[in-house]
Amino acid sequence: MAAAAAALQSTAAVCSAARPLLSDSRARQNFSSTRRVTCTSSSGLKLGSSQPTSERSRDEPSLCLSRASTSASGRLKVSAVKGSEEFVVQTTEMTTSPGASPLSMTYLEGNSWLWEILGLKVLIDPVLVGNLDFGIPLLYDAAKKSLREFKLEDLPELDCLLICQGYDDHCHEKTLEPLSQLKPNLRVISSPNAEPILSKYFKNVTYLEPKTGESTTLKASNGSVVRIRASPGPILGPPWQRPESGYFIEVEEPKFSIYYEPHCIFENASLEGQSADVLVTPVIQQVLPGYVLVSGQEDAVKVAEYLKPKFVVTMKNGDLDSKGLLSMIVRQKGTNETFQELLFKKLPNTEVLNPSPGVPMVIPIKS
């Protein structure tokens, strides 16, 4: 029975980033004709976007610049591709000033992020090579919408790889193997549940036990200590299994903190008495019949009530182009708008920030 329960939970976890899009034939048609916009920031990250030409205006490159210039710091080059020729549309200078925020976040779709904390570049749960299919593509196969052509070589120099779970949508072996070849000495901080995969590719790994709140530190370029502390997340298996991990990231100077758990599933006791300036969470629920894969909505508000954040950064980890039998029975509940309405009733002064995939978003933390 225990093995059967574990197998059932593992099968349910397959859909943890999915929502059904197969019925939307028009959306699939639109994606058959695309042109690519590439944004290169001074951090070294190339930001690609493949979108339907029928739904993009001739002014799209300047629109991309407009979004980035209000969200990103550093020198930004916006280029477009016409046929096989790539040409620069516009370059703008946005150098970081002493009063600029010490935190920026780039959403890479699914559960994947690139954060820059006081110059430290932290890659989180990367799924950047191939599709997400949990090894059973007939049941589930998902591709990113906006960053389909993103390559590992487009990443900047990294200081840390952070892994929340041992499942494929967080610990993606097709990404981790080539990443380890490109960056063999990369510092990795992870849930112990990911050790069977990570131990094959990385040697400099720190496993943090979430049940006891183990922590480790990084040092920023200004000498400030950045502490990463594990916190219990979902149990995706039998009840006695170790939970997956969320993380508190606590910065010494300037003093601020982040809380991140990509399923919005948590132990109440682990959040009592805690606080965070920035909460990063899904807000749209992803559900199977009788089973919540990814929570959000009221549960995301509950996390915010515990932590009293200044900012909630939302993530749409189910917003993928998916196919397969399991993808057809996953449903989403709620929207960003309904979440904001719920949050406003409880925490009217908390600001909700909705990132665009591939566009660095500066979080206005006071330094």
Residue 189's CATH number: 3.60.15.10
Q: Residue ranges of the alpha helices (H) in the chain?
A: 2-13, 25-30, 60-71, 173-182, 195-198, 268-271, 298-307, 336-346
- The reply to whether 48 falls in a domain is no
For 14, the token pair is 């397959």
285 vs 196 pLDDT, higher one: 196
Among 355, 335, 339, 356, CA closest to 347: 339
Strands 160-163 vs 120-124: parallel, antiparallel or unpaired: parallel
Q: In terms of residue numbers, what domain contains 272?
A: 2-32+96-363
How many angstroms separate the CA atoms of 211 and 201, rounded? 25
Count the Cβ atoms, other than its own, within 10 Å of residue 348. Answer: 7
- The reply to whether 355 falls in a domain is yes
- The reply to whether 59 falls in a domain is no
For 309, the token pair is 């954040």
> Phi, psi (5° rounding) for residue 188?
-125, 135
The yes-or-no verdict on residue 81 having pLDDT over 90 is no
The yes-or-no verdict on residue 156 having pLDDT over 70 is yes
Q: Which of 65-74, 147-156, 294-303 has the lowest mean pLDDT?
A: 65-74
The answer to whether 281 and 306 have CB atoms below 8 angstroms apart is no
What is the model's pLDDT at position 217? 97
- The reply to whether 63 falls in a domain is no
Query: Would you call 280 helix, strand, or coil by DSSP?
Result: strand
Q: Residue ranges of the alpha helices (H) in 219-319?
A: 268-271, 298-307
Among 74, 73, 76, 72, CA closest to 61: 76
Query: Would you call 253 helix, strand, or coil by DSSP?
Result: coil
Kindly indicate the confidence band of residue 11, based on its pLDDT and cuts at 50, 70 and 90. Answer: very low
R_g over Cα of the chain: 20
- The reply to whether 270 falls in a domain is yes
Kindly indicate the confidence band of residue 45, based on its pLDDT and cuts at 50, 70 and 90. Answer: low
- The reply to whether 90 falls in a domain is no
Please state, rounded to an integer, the average pLDDT across all residues of the chain.
75
Length reported for the chain = 367
Strands 285-288 vs 331-333: parallel, antiparallel or unpaired: antiparallel
Structural domain tally of the chain?
1
Q: Which of 136-145, 192-201, 291-300, 332-341 has the lowest mean pLDDT?
A: 136-145
**DSSP code of residue 132:** B
For 338, the token pair is 């309904």
Segment 165-194 shows an average pLDDT of 94
Segment 232-254 shows an average pLDDT of 86
Task: List, in sequence order, every beta strand (DSSP E) within 185-234.
Answer: 188-190, 205-207, 215-219, 225-232
Segment 247-271 shows an average pLDDT of 92
Segment 109-129 shows an average pLDDT of 94
Kindly indicate the confidence band of residue 367, based on its pLDDT and cuts at 50, 70 and 90. Answer: low
The yes-or-no verdict on residue 113 having pLDDT over 60 is yes
- The reply to whether 65 falls in a domain is no
The yes-or-no verdict on residue 2 having pLDDT over 60 is no
- The reply to whether 223 falls in a domain is yes
What is the model's pLDDT at position 250? 97
- Cβ burial of 54 (10 Å; 0-12, 13-18, 19+) is exposed
The yes-or-no verdict on residue 243 having pLDDT over 70 is yes
The answer to whether 246 and 267 have CB atoms below 8 angstroms apart is no
For 293, the token pair is 């894969």
Count the Cβ atoms, other than its own, within 10 Å of residue 321. Answer: 20
What is the model's pLDDT at position 94? 30
* Model confidence, pTM: 0.73
Q: Which of 21-30, 212-221, 237-246, 308-317 has the lowest mean pLDDT?
A: 21-30
For 72, the token pair is 């990103």
- Cβ burial of 87 (10 Å; 0-12, 13-18, 19+) is exposed
